[in-house]
């Protein structure tokens, strides 16, 4: 094997290791209450007293997104919202779920 061949395979092995880590992180997150996996992301739905949210964790980018969901039976589309508009108890629960899945909970604050 030449030096070029080994350098080409090294990034691929790192990508495979990252993909394996992402897969196990998603599997562990799916074990947390309410979470389910769809492709390379996991999602949970939250219903508060008056608001509904969908929270998504994207394994490849290691980030979370919050979506505000329209009222049940209402017209409209879910829209992404900033973390500052999300109730702190919900954000804390997301951090706890991430930690429970072996994912650094600090990524909950990561901006895109």
Q: pLDDT tens, 8-51? A: 444 543 433 343 466 788 999 999 999 999 999 999 999 877 88
The predicted pLDDT at position 21 comes to 64
Q: pLDDT tens, 53-103? A: 999 999 999 999 999 998 877 778 999 999 999 999 999 999 999 999 999
3-state helix/strand/coil string of 23-69? HHHHHHHHCCCCCEEECCEEEEEEECCCCEEEEEEECCCCEEEEEEE
β-sheet with 41-47: strand ranges across? 36-38, 41-47, 52-58, 63-69, 79-81
What pTM does this model have? 0.77
The predicted pLDDT at position 41 comes to 95
**Higher model confidence: residue 30 or residue 4?**
30
Closest CA to 97 of 58, 44, 47, 38: 44
């Amino acid at each position: 094997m030449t030096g070029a061949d080994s350098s080409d395979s090294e990034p691929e092995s790192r990508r495979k290791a990252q993909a394996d880590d992402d897969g196990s992180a998603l599997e562990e997150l799916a074990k947390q209450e309410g979470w389910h996996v769809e492709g390379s992301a996991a999602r949970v739905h939250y219903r508060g007293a008056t608001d509904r949210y969908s929270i998504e964790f994207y394994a490849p980018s290691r980030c979370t997104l919050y979506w505000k969901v329209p009222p049940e039976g209402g017209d409209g589309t879910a829209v992404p919202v900033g973390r500052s508009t999300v109730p702190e108890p919900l954000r804390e629960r997301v951090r706890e779920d991430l930690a429970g899945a072996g994912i650094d909970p600090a990524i909950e604050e990561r901006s895109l």
